Each structure stands twice: as structure tokens, then as C-alpha cells.
Chain A
């Protein structure tokens, strides 16, 4: 479970996130939506522990800043950044060491296969395209076998096959009881995935919906309904 309680992040007098509270339960897929400058990135980076903030963020009931919480948490940033002199394979090995994981050769192979990286294992970080980097970034997050995973614009740069694979993986994670939070602008890509949706604007959560409550209503209609009304 991921809980965000009264999260406030200010840059000087400007509040990028103002008393933001929401939660995503185990086995649920949460979608964080909002126009540019709404404060999504601030919330995402705060959850990932990259920013100082006021309020509380709990991962499986533990403060997100603790090493215990970090052990069960994975993050796929919007802009992947690779170590130029590490190969794809070495990125994975590094993550396995950093999280002290017991992973078999078969686990790595399976992941690489799913994202068509098997033949790219020896490529260095600076030889990868944006899409390839995104695939490596996703593989590095998945190999952790997280209980909570945060995906920031994960579809950007991916080819259709990888998008399809990622969607499938997200559903598998849900079935395995993992908490998933996806921040995206690509509503079309997540419409069959989401369970709960949070719409942000100007640093606040302006609406939240549960799929069960809105039944057949279109995700896009819901989003524009609240954002247009605000204007």
C-alpha cells in the first residue's frame, strides 16, 4: 500500500504540492493525472525520496525514507539516465547487488526476452536509444520484485510491442498484489488498466475516482470534466 498524507512541497512561496493526500491499496493500479505544472512530478519525486517535503509518505506502512521501505519500492523515472560505461547486463547486475536480491539467470533472461533486450545485453549505456533506455529502466525496476512501483510516463519512447508488454506486466503486478502508481498524460494507454484515478491541478488533488464507481464512463471524459470545470 502507498499512502500520501498531507504532502506539501514549497519552493519559496510557491506551493508545488499543497496538502496532497491519497492512497493506493495493495493490488490496485492508481493513475495520477493532471495538466502540465499541476504538481504531479513533485508528488512523484517526493514519493521516490528525491525531494524534501512536509507530510508523510508511507510505503507498506513504513516511512518512505527508510531503507526498509526502499527495499520494496521501485521507481521508473520519466527520463531514464544510464551509466555510460555500463552495459545493459551490468545495469541489472548492479541493481541486484544494490537491492541484495537473489535472482536466477533465468529471471534476468525472461525479463530481457519480454522487452527484446536479449541481444542488447552487451551494449553500453551511451549506445542506447531513448526507448532502449526506458526498457532497461523498466527491467531494473521489475527485477527488484517490488511491493510498490512508481512509473512516471513509462510509455514514452517505447515501441508498440513494448507498450503492450508493459501493460501486460502491470496487470500481472496487480494480480500479484503489488501497488502500482502511474503518472501519465497518455490517457488512451491506461484506460484499461486503472482502478483509482487522481486528478491534480495547481498543487491540489481536485478529483479522485474509483473505476467501480464510475462504471463505463470514459477516462478522458472524466479528466476533462474536472479540469474544464476548474477553468
Chain B
């Protein structure tokens, strides 16, 4: 026992030091205080608005709280079990593999170490629930206190035991674990289907669903239901079913704890944990670079070829083209689909006469929304900046920037067509107008792109991803705002003239940003 406690203290040493150093580093950054103020304001807003909402929908009672917690338990426990039986859901990082896996710390303690990362987040949730229960739902303090202790201690013992038994298991093979997963999926499926059925039968009322969530049948489902039974006992009062099932719950927690404690675990799971850690690291890096990333998802490339027509920086464009040709969907992606759906949607609404001849303005409005709000495609230009050979190509920085971003302009041209052409054709807009609207979209996207490159050059070292997005929107907003002002004057002559002025102003100012942004391609180092 002393050895176990000693090893657990090692884990806490690691957490304590990491937390202390991170906190020290964070407190030196002014942005931390802005985040703290923002979170404090957000929490205040949430805490003060929830009671009003609950009063409005008349759910400020124990029945509502129990129903919400029941649904939560019925989703969380099985989904965690599924993850653990697949040897997923626990994140070990590369240094853990380097230092912890070969060390004489029991593999079971290492599982607890990784689990603790999730516990921290869950503890915050339980604290919010406990405080919220008292403040929003007028629950007695002692009841929410017991709930907090129950969920943070007993539930955690249960989860940690299940995690060790599933993740650390060395007796059951993958096929046998598959049965656990299928059973859990079935359980969640049945729970949701019956819930939807009740909701549809009873109509759009919360009461019917609440009655279903309080039913004794749910409380009789082993372990998951028994957990729910205790919540009913605590919040709704004693009944024969919830008393018996609560006793069964505490008994099962004790049995699972002993089983997990006694189970042999020599670290067979290390191999799967390493694989998951590698996949996680790849996804994390992709996510940081602004790309869509799923853990374990690997992009498949087909075969393709390209004939390089041109020299020097132009080679960057052709290399990108080759990479895109190897992609399953070439240069198209989820964002193309969004543009196509928007185009079709606008055409349908225009056909129904929803816009009364204002369709060009609606299309432009949608385009402006997309430009400001959507982050769009993760462009390849960002990756070019990380490759040393980009800087070694004997060409000017402007040419390198242009050819590194050229494909983005092609993409925005296609997207502009997808948004504009369906409704333009349906309503028979003049060709010149359609052409100008598409050109406006290409210009807006170019403005966004070069604002992004410029921000990366000058603020890349100072701001995180969110900060950079805000800075990008600010520069983009200034330029497009000036373009719109110009367009308003031009439109006094005609709409086409307004669009030409808009394009002219945006192109002129974007070219200025582009010239500034070339500094990115001068040398690898970003500007301090």
C-alpha cells in the first residue's frame, strides 16, 4: 500500500509542477487577464440568466434536475465504457511514453494518471451543477453537497474501476470487447429511441419525457440505472425501487473496485495507447494549424502527375496542383458543399419570390457573411512558410506569395460561381451583374487571405489562433468598409458602377496588404 501511495504521489508531483509552471507562464501574459475577465463575465451572465429561463419554462424543480442528470448518466457511462473497451478516451502524451511507460510505476496507476485529466474537467462540471442546483433550482444545500460528493467520489471510483477493467484488461481479446461495445450502443440506442417515442406521443412537452426518465424500468438497468436510482432517492425521495437499486449500486461499485484492484495488468495497453497518442498528436498539430482533424483519420492520396509549365516560384503552384490532384476531391471540400447548398437555397427562395428583386444584395450579403464568419479552407500557403525550400527558390518574395496563394483565388472563383450562378440563372440576372458579383466574392476572399498573411507576418509570434482571427477580421473589416462606402457612392450611377467601385477599392487596398505581407516570404523568421 505504501508503494502505491508513493507512486500516486509521483503522479501528483507531475501534475503539481506542470500546473505551477503553466500558471506562472500564463500570469506573465496580459492576454490571460483578458481571458479571466471574459470567463468571469460569461459565468456571471450564465448564472444570472439561467434562473429566469428556468422560471419561464417552469422547470425549476427537483424533477427537472433529476431528469437532466438521468439523461446525462445514461449517455456518459455507456459512451465512456465504449471508449475504454476500444482503448480510446485516455490521452497519453509523448513524454508520458518516454518517461512513464518504461518506469517502475504500475500500469494501473498510469491509467489513473491519464484519467485524472478528465476528472479535472468533470469536477468543474459537478461544481457548476452543485452551485446551479442551489441557485437556479432552489435545491437544499445539503442535497447538492451530497450530490457533489457522490458524483466526485463514488462515480469516479466506479469510472476508474471500469476504466481499469476495460482499458487495462489483458484477458479478453478485441472480439470479446466488441460485445461490450455493441451492448452499450444498443443500450444508448434503446434509451434514445424510447425517449423520442415518448416525446412524439406526448407532444412537445417536457413532462412526458420527464415521466419516462423517472420510470422504474430505467432505474433497474444494471449499474447505469442503479446510479440513476440513487439520484432519484436523493432528489425525489425514497421509493422501494430506488432504495433497492441504490444499495445495488453501492454494492456494484465496491465489487468493481475490488476487481479492478486485483486484476493483473502488465501494460499490454501501452501499444494501443502509443498509437492513440501519435494519432492525437497529429490531430492536435493539424487543429493548431487551422485544419479539420479527426483522431486516427489518415488522408489517402491517389496517383497523379503534373507537367510543370513555368519556372522558379511558379513551381510552388504546380506542386500544390499535384498535391490537390492526389486528393480524393481535388480542390473541393466541405466549404464547396456549403457554397453549393447556399447557391441552391438562394435559387429556390428567389424562385419563390422571397427577395422581391433584391437578390443581388442578398447574394452579396451572404458572401460578406461567409467572408467574415467562416474560416473557410485551410490554405496551403501557411504550410509553404514552414518549408525552408520556399525561401531558397531564387525568385522574388512577391512572386512566391502570389504563386503560393494562387490556388486559393481559383477556389474562391469556383465558390463564387456556385453561390451566384443558380439564383442568377433562375432570375435571369444580366451577365455583367453576375460576373461582377462573382468578382466581388473573389476580391473579398483575396482581402481575407492577404489580411491573414499580413497578420501572420506581424502578429504571428504574439497572438494565438483566436487573436489572429480577430486581427484579421479587423483589417478585413476596415478595407471592406471602405469598399462599401465607395460602392454606395458608385451605386448612385448604377448598381454595376457601385460593384466596380467596390472591386476597385478592395483590389487596391488588398494589393497594399499583399505588398506588406510579402515580408513573410522574405525570410523564415516572422517579424518581432
| Residue positions of A touching B, CB distance < 8 A | 48-52, 65-68, 70-71, 73-75, 77, 79-87, 90-91, 93-95, 97-100, 124-125, 137, 140
Contacts and interface: CB of A to CB of B under 8 A. Distances in A.
Given A50-B271, A86-B21, A94 B99 contact: yes
Given A67-B104, A124-B21, 11 more contacts: A50-B271, A52-B268, A67-B106, A73-B102, A85-B25, A86-B14, A91-B99, A98-B7, A100-B104, A124-B25, A140-B99
Contact of B103 (A85, A98, A124): A98
A98 B101 contact: no
Contacts of B97: 50, 81
B18 interface: yes
Interface string B19-34: 0011001000000000
Contacts of A83: 14, 18, 95, 99
A207 to B, nearest CB: 28
A125 B93 CA distance: 13
A49 B267 contact: yes
Interface residues of B, number: 30
Nearest to B94: A81
A37 B271 CA distance: 19
A94 B14 CA distance: 7
Pairs A-B, 10 closest by C-beta atoms: A81-B94, A70-B104, A65-B266, A85-B21, A71-B104, A85-B18, A97-B10, A81-B95, A75-B102, A81-B98
B13 A86 contact: no
Nearest to A90: B17
Contacts of B274: 50
B6 A94 contact: no
A94 B10 contact: yes
A153 to B, nearest CB: 14
Given A50-B274, A81-B97, A98 B17 contact: no
A196 B79 CA distance: 51
Given A50-B97, A51-B271, A85 B22 contact: yes
A77 to B, nearest CB: 6
B282 interface: no
Contacts of A52: 268, 271
Contacts of B184: none
B266 A98 contact: no
Nearest to B272: A52
14 contacts: A50-B271, A70-B102, A70-B103, A73-B102, A74-B102, A80-B98, A81-B93, A81-B95, A84-B95, A86-B17, A93-B13, A94-B13, A94-B99, A140-B99
B92 to A, nearest CB: 11
B22 A66 contact: no
A77 B98 contact: yes
Given A66-B266, A81-B95, A86-B17, A98 B104 contact: yes
Interface of B: 6-7, 9-10, 13-14, 17-18, 21-22, 25, 93-95, 97-106, 266-268, 270-271, 274
B310 to A, nearest CB: 36
Given A49-B101, A50-B97, A71-B104, A97 B21 contact: no
B17 A97 contact: no
Contacts of B94: 79, 81
A73 B104 CA distance: 9
Contact of A50 (B7, B10, B22, B101): B101
A90 B10 CA distance: 12
B27 to A, nearest CB: 13
Q: Which of B18, B104, B105, B270 counts the most A-chain CB atoms under 10 A from its CB?
A: B104
Contacts of B25: 85, 124
A70 B102 CA distance: 7
A94 B99 CA distance: 9
Contact of B101 (A48, A68, A140): A48
Contact of B9 (A51, A84, A97): A97
A48 B267 CA distance: 11
B56 to A, nearest CB: 45
A98 B105 CA distance: 7
A98 B3 CA distance: 11
B95 A82 contact: yes
Nearest to B24: A85
A44 B98 CA distance: 13
A49 B267 CA distance: 8
B265 to A, nearest CB: 10
Contacts of A81: 93-95, 97-98
Given A80-B98, A81-B95, A82-B95, A94 B104 contact: no
A87 B13 contact: no
Nearest to B6: A100
A124 B24 CA distance: 12
Given A85-B22, A90-B17, A95 B104 contact: no
B207 to A, nearest CB: 50
Nearest to A65: B266
Nearest to A77: B98
Contacts of B10: 94, 97-98
B276 to A, nearest CB: 13
B337 to A, nearest CB: 35
Contact of B99 (A85, A95, A100): A95
Q: Which of A65, A77, A85 counts the most B-chain CB atoms under 10 A from its CB?
A: A85
A95 B98 CA distance: 11
A182 to B, nearest CB: 16
Contacts of B21: 85-87, 90, 124
Contacts of B103: 70, 95, 98-99
Nearest to A100: B6
